[in-house]
Structure formats: C-alpha cells, structure tokens
C-alpha cells in the first residue's frame, strides 16, 4: 500500500543506536578497497584517522564525541581487518 502523506523521523540516532557514522566510514573503506584496492583503502583509513583525531579536539559536545568514536574505530585495526568485522 502506498500513502503519499507518510513520513519518517529519526530522533537522535534512535534507529541506528549511534552506529551510523562508523558504518559510513566503513562504507568509504569498502568502496575504496573494492574499486581502488586495499592499499588505497589503508591510505584513506590513515588520512581519515588523522582528520577525525583533529576534529575530535576541535569540536565539542556530541559532534566531537562522534568524531572521537570514529577515530577510535579506525585506530582499532588496518583497513582489511576493519572490513572483515
């Protein structure tokens, strides 16, 4: 059944439990690994890690926490290991 007036609202990550940003990072690594190779994916992981560590210091509150959590995930292994999880 189709209802054109239907809508959906996500309240502060309730639908994804805060994992959306990490899954977004994983998607970037997966795309690069698939289309450019594992070396490019690893290089991108290192660049993203550096950028997120800087953002985690610069931004405060929830946004900074999101960046710090993303950096912690990226630091937990190389690109190939993160994509196997």
In this structure, is residue 12 part of a structural domain? Answer: no
48-68 average pLDDT score: 95
Q: How many helices (H) and strands (E) does the chain have?
A: 4, 0
Q: Grade residue 2 by pLDDT with cuts at 50, 70 and 90.
A: confident
Mean pLDDT, to the nearest integer, of 49-76? Answer: 95
Query: What pLDDT, on the 0 to 100 scale, is given for residue 8?
Result: 74
Is residue 7 included in any domain, yes or no?
A: no
Is 50 contained in some domain? yes
For residues 13 and 4, which has the higher predicted lDDT (pLDDT)? 4
Structural domain range at position 48: 20-84
Please count the CA atoms within 13 angstroms of the CA of 23 that sit on its side-chain side: 6
pLDDT tens track for 51-60: 999 999 999 9
How many structural domains compose the chain?
1
């Amino acid at each position: 059944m189709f209802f054109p007036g239907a809508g959906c609202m996500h309240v502060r990550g309730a639908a994804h439990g805060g994992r959306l940003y990490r899954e977004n990072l994983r998607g970037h690594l997966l795309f690069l690994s698939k289309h450019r190779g594992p070396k490019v994916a690893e290089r991108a992981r290192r660049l993203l890690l550096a950028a997120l560590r800087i953002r985690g210091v610069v931004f405060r509150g929830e946004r900074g926490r999101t960046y710090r959590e993303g950096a912690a995930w990226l630091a937990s292994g190389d690109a190939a290991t993160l994509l196997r999880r």
